[in-house]
Amino acid sequence: MNKRKTLYGLLAVVSTLFIIHSLVENYWIDPGATAFLSHKTGLKRELNLPVWLNVMYVHVAFACIAMLAGLLNFSNRIFEKSRRFHRINGYVYIVSVLLVVLTSGYMAPYATGGRIGSMGFNALNLIWLFITMMALVQIKRKQMGRHRNWMIRSYAFCFTNMLIHLITTLFHQGFGLVYVTSYTIGVYGSIVLLLIIPGIIIRRNR
C-alpha cells in the first residue's frame, strides 16, 4: 500500500509539473509556437497559422484536462469517497481524449518530419482511442480489474508529448542527429515505449 501511495505521489508530481509547463509554455511564453514551428520545413500543405494555433490551443487545453482527470481517477481515496465523481470524471477524461485525438488529427499533416511523422501521429491517435474505448467497454461490463488495466494503458498516452521531446532531445543534442530525424525517432519511439511500459506496470501490480 505504501509503495502504491509513493508511486501515485510521484505520478501526481510529474503530471502536475507537466501540466503547468505545458500551459505556461503554450499560452504565455510562446503563444505563437514560434520555436516549434521553426522546425517545420518543406511542408506540402500550406499552414493556415491562425487556424493551426487555435487548434493547438484546444489540443493543449484538453490534453491537460485529460492528464488531470486521469490522475484524479487513479486515486483510491477519491474513488472510495465518491464513485459518482469517479464516473463523471471518467467521462470527462474520455471526451478530453477524443478532442485531443481530433485536434491532433488536424495537425498531423503538418507534423515535423513530413508524411512519416504524420503517419506516426495518426497511429498514436488510433491506438490511444482504441485503448480508451476498451477501458470504457470493460467498465460497462463491470470488469473492474480489466478496466483499470486498460486505463493504465490509456493514461500512459497522456505523456506522449513529454516522451517525444525527451527522445528528440536525446538524439538531437546527445547523439547529434538533425532535429527532423530526431523528432521522427521520438514519435515512433514513444509509440513503442507507451505500449511496453504500461504492460510492465500492470504485471508488477499483479
How sure is the predictor about 198, in pLDDT bands with cuts at 50, 70 and 90?
A: very high
Residue at 131 is within a domain? yes
Residue at 73 is within a domain? yes
Residue at 94 is within a domain? yes
pLDDT in tens, 75-106: 999 999 999 999 999 999 999 999 999 999 99
Mean local confidence (pLDDT), 131-159: 97
Q: What is the DSSP letter of 38?
A: T
Between helices 83-107 and 114-140, what is the axis angle to 10°? 160
Residue at 108 is within a domain? yes
Number of folded domains that form the chain: 1
How sure is the predictor about 44, in pLDDT bands with cuts at 50, 70 and 90?
A: confident
Which residues lie below 8 Å from residue 42, measured CB to CB, with a gap of 6+? Answer: 114
Residue at 110 is within a domain? yes
Lowest mean pLDDT among 2-11, 121-130, 176-185, 189-198: 2-11
Mean local confidence (pLDDT), 29-51: 87
Alpha-carbon distance of 84 to 25, in angstroms, equals 34
How sure is the predictor about 1, in pLDDT bands with cuts at 50, 70 and 90?
A: low
Residue at 36 is within a domain? no
Residue at 133 is within a domain? yes
C-alpha cell at 6: 509513493
Alpha-carbon distance of 56 to 49, in angstroms, equals 10
Residue at 37 is within a domain? no
As a whole number, the mean pLDDT across the chain is 94
Between 56 and 46, name the one with better pLDDT. Answer: 56
Assign residue 114 a region (left: φ > 0; alpha: ψ between -120 and 50; beta: otherwise).
left
Alpha-carbon distance of 8 to 11, in angstroms, equals 5
Alpha-carbon distance of 153 to 27, in angstroms, equals 29
C-alpha cell at 32: 505563437
Range of the domain at 143: 2-28+46-158
